[in-house]
Amino acid sequence: MKIFQVAILLGVVALLWGLNFFFEENINPYILRVIINCGIGMILAMSLNLVNGCAGQFSLGHAGFMGVGAYMSATITTVLNLSPFFQTDLGVGCAIVTGGIAAAIAGYLVGLPSLRLKGDYLAIVTLGFGEIIRICFLNIESVGGARGLSGIPPKSNFFWVYLWVVITFVALLRLLRSSYGRAILSVRENEIAAESMGIDISRYKIVAFVVSSFFAGIAGGLFAHLQSFIDPNSFVFNKSIEAVIMVVIGGMGSLSGAIFGGIIVSLLPELLRVFEQYRMVIFPLILIILMLVRPMGLLGHKEIWEIFRKKASS
Amino acid sequence: MILSVKNLSVNYGLISAIRNLSMEVPKGEIVALIGANGAGKTTILRTISGLIKPVSGSVIFDGQDIAHVKPHLIVRRGMSHVPERRGIFANLTVYENLLMGAYTRKLMAGDLDEVYALFPRLAERKKQIAGTLSGGEQQMLAISRALLSRPKLMLLDEPSLGLAPQITKSIFETIQRINKTGTTVLLVEQNAQAALKIAHRGYVLEVGDITYSDTSQALLNNDVVRKAYLGDH
């Protein structure tokens, strides 16, 4: 079993590596960029899904944690000038993980006071914290302030982004299938009942929030090293809303749904470029129609394989 | 006494819900707490299981005061609470609900079989989403889930709520069976007749105060209680 898993892992890495070469040689850079953006969208959506969908705690501050990851990793690779190692692929990878950890710490600090609140109040407080984080970056001169931070080594490519998509997916899937994951789900289902089962609900809310922030930070780091330029405006409130839309479209609490949501919300605005100035009229219209037709999101609470299994058995 | 509540007072904001209430639950018995809507029955149960913190007074469970212990830690000491309206995890399967019941300890091989023997219906439906069960089945699930933490004391909040008389009867019979295996039960009910029939002892609660306490047989024969709670004219 162990050997089997390692083999699958190596196979996936090799496949991504190969695809990376193939894409860079054979398809147009614009399309490749859109595909990579979809990957970042998927990581954002999957991570937010853990808090909004699985734990049932409505957070509107995801862009803030993405910003922490982006600025932290970019600071290491660009501002600090520590060693040439941080210009290499591996060094950037380390910086991105550090960014993720910084975002997780930020998530812990924000989550501790805010997760005492519920529903609308939690949404407003997380929104506030998201903005506070952004305003902090706006006022730190050493990371460029309002001018932003440029010259970040553009090391995010198809391989790295999709490797992280796979890592995020596997990590969150394993988490959700463990007793930890069931505890997180039970908090969403019924807090009082969860407490009477012996579940420390505040602890699990924090765990969900911290893990979610970590992956948001990773997404931020990948984003920074893709654009090679970030400014506080990259992490405005709209970005948080975008992540929420991804989760809602995909289906709250569905990991595979979040992947679809991430793709749709990243891809649609690009596909709609043929409509030129009407693009941003048509995009929301499509979202509204989608929500009218599938109010539960594309997959609802279910995972895509559960839906297929049910179809196959009936 | 496995549980004794002494001089308990509970407030919701400025409004006092329970005033200076004392009651006792002897080990191995079924104790019923009956009373009308808004008398404070659920409040007492929630205070005992730690979901609400009292203003004053103590809750002695198994020799220790747990009035200010967090609810998830009280479960580990051997008390489990079946909340009002059952509180099942509606979007999880029956099986997953049961697993959550055994959250505080390691699930043994025979544990689930025991529960399935008590409620064979749950075995048939273990892969079903719990929210799609009927009311009676949901109550069975809630009781089974509480049982899986191996409680010494089980608190039941209105198990008959919204159930047909037939199903209520069978649920109450099961509660009796659970009690016979050594679990002490504190039962809160509006259906006084059904509750007192299976209970050893009863408390009658009226707006935050206990007005009668006696063996359930005596309460069933008490004229005032009969008029007020048992629909006797």
Range of the domain at B194: 3-229
pLDDT score for B23: 92
The residues pairing with B8 across neighbouring beta strands, listed in sequence order, are: B21
**pLDDT digit of tens for each residue in chain A (314 aa)?**
688 888 998 999 999 999 998 998 889 999 999 999 999 999 999 999 999 999 999 999 999 999 999 999 999 999 887 888 888 889 999 999 999 999 999 999 999 999 888 888 999 999 999 999 999 999 999 888 889 999 999 989 999 999 999 999 999 999 999 989 999 999 999 999 999 899 999 999 999 999 999 999 999 999 999 999 999 999 999 999 999 999 999 999 899 999 999 999 999 989 998 888 888 889 889 989 988 998 888 888 788 888 888 777 65
Report CB contact under 8 Å: A196, B89: no
| Residue A85 pLDDT | 86
Residues of the domain holding A38:
2-313
CB contact under 8 A, A190 and B87: yes
**Torsion sign (Cα): A109, A115, A116, A120:** positive
Contact B146 A196 (CB under 8 A): yes
Nearest to B100 among A197, A253, A301 (CB): A197
pLDDT at position A12 is 93
User: Which residues in chain B touch residue A253, judged by CB atoms under 8 angstroms apart?
Assistant: 91
Give residue B233's pLDDT: 57
DSSP per position, A178-214: SHHHHHHHHHHH-HHHHHHTT--HHHHHHHHHHHHHH
Could B83 and A192 be called an inter-chain contact, meaning their C-beta atoms sit closer than 8 Å?
yes
Whether A198 sits inside 8 A of B90 (CB atoms) is: no
Whether B51 and A192 lie within 8 Å, measured CB to CB: yes
Total structural domains within chain A = 1
**Closest C-alpha to B229, from B190, B202, B199:** B190
Number of domains in chain B: 1
Angle at A170 between CA A254 and CA A23, to 5 degrees: 100
Find the range with the poorest average confidence among A6-10, A46-50, B144-148, B209-213.
Answer: B209-213
More confident residue, B161 or A45: A45
Residue written as token pair 């330029």: A229
Contact at 8 Å (CB) between A57 and A208?
A: yes
**pLDDT for res B40:** 86
Task: Give me the residue label for tokens 């609810």.
Answer: B71
The two structure tokens encoding residue B190 = 């509006």
pLDDT at B228: 79
What is the pLDDT at residue A313?
66
> What's the CATH number where A29 sits?
1.10.3470
Distance from CA of A170 to the nearest CA of B (A): 21
What is the per-residue pLDDT for A62? 95
**What residues in A contact B83, CB-CB < 8 Å?**
190, 192-193, 196
- Looking at residue B135, which CATH number applies to its domain? 3.40.50.300
What pLDDT is stored for residue A1 in this prediction?
65
What the block records as the tokens of A196 is 């009477």
- Which of B71, B90, B96 is the closest to A196 by Cβ? B71
Could you give the percent of chain B with pLDDT greater than 90? Answer: 58
Give the pTM.
0.90
**CA triplet A248, A249, A252: central angle to 5 degrees?**
40
Per CB-CB distance under 8 Å, the chain A contacts of B149 are 197-198
Q: Do the strands B153-157 and B79-82 form a parallel or antiparallel pair, or are they unpaired?
A: parallel
Cα of B51 to nearest chain A Cα, Å: 8
More confident residue, B31 or A87: B31
Those residues with Cβ within 8 angstroms of residue A235's Cβ, 6 or more apart along the chain or in another chain:
A63, A64, A66, A67, A70, A130, A133, A134, A137, A220
